[in-house]
Structure 1
Amino acid sequence: MKVSTKGRYGLTIMIELAKNYGEGPISLKSIATTHNLSEHYLEQLIAPLRNSGFVKSVRGAYGGYILADEPANISAGDIIRTLEGPISPVEGLENEAPPQKELWIRIRDAVRNVLDHTTIEDLANYTEEGESDAYMFYI
């Protein structure tokens, strides 16, 4: 499974909203500027996140987007599935020979486990020095 820019930039949006959780809305323009991303592309990504109930929009001069739930209640897996679709290393798993099928299932389950047990809060609290409660990523 290869995560595209949709999943990567979607996580970027969610992490920025988590960093500012409870402090008011954040504009996509500020996220785009901070991370040197296309604001137009982020606008395309925010729609499915809003439709899935992960973010809410706030209108007005000081509007933008806020998380619809606490960052600890939203997993990276939720965001990746919303933007990328099902998490699977190969397509047509049911047609694989038993040994390969077992391998692909184990890989799929390992990736799902990491994504589903990593919250947006974990990612927002991560620092370069790794001082975020010593959270480790295992695959």
Structure 2
Amino acid sequence: MLISTKGRYALRVMIDLAEHQNAGYIPLKEVAQRQGISEKYLESIIKLLVKANLLNGVRGKGGGYRLTKSPDSYTVGSILRLTEDSLAPVSCLEPGAPPCGQSSECRTLAMWQGLDKIINDYLDKITVADLIQTDSPGDFYVI
């Protein structure tokens, strides 16, 4: 599993908006400048987050984006599953994957299922609120 740039940037956007949530609607240009990310690239990520109802957007003067819920309502896992489509370590565990003809004889399936559960459980325990409150990058190392 490799988290794409889209997934990493989506987390950065959510964290940035959470850190500035008291400022109302935040223009995308400000987020892009603070994060050092192309505004054009962020537009596609923002569209995805708005469509999934993670963000509200307002056009025009005084417009921008803001979180639809409090930062503790968003898990890292839910954001990454939205941007990555799947966090499965192998293709047979991806949502909607066709049944594998080898699953009944697969000696590694239980191992992959265990890893999938660990990944999802871990990422679902971390919220955007946790990420804006942490002082140390190692705070989430222990499961």
* TM-score, scaled relative to structure 1: 0.87
What is the CA distance between 1:20 and its match in structure 2? Answer: 1.3
Aligned ranges 1:51-130 → 2 under 5 Å: 51-93=51-93, 94=100, 95=102, 97-127=105-135, 130=136
Give the match for residue 97 of structure 2.
Answer: none
Identity of aligned residues (%): 34
Distance in 2 separating the partners of 1:25 and 1:138: 35
What is the CA distance between 1:63 and its match in structure 2? Answer: 1.4
Give the match for residue 96 of structure 2.
Answer: none
CA RMSD of aligned residues (A): 1.9
* TM-score, scaled relative to structure 2: 0.85
Which sections of structure 1, spanning at least 5 residues, go unmatched? Answer: none
User: Bigger shift: 66-75 or 28-37?
Assistant: 28-37
Give the match for residue 11 of structure 1.
Answer: 11
8 Å CA contact 1:54, 1:68 repeated in 2: yes
The number of residues matched between the two structures is 135
1:26 is the counterpart of 2:26 = yes
SS, match of residue 92 in structure 1:
helix
Deviation per CA, 1:18-60, whole angstroms, max 9, x where unpaired?
1112321112211211221111010000111101110000223
Which sections of structure 2, spanning at least 5 residues, go unmatched? Answer: 94-99
Amino acid at match of 1:137: Y
Whichever of the two has the greater Rg, that structure is 2
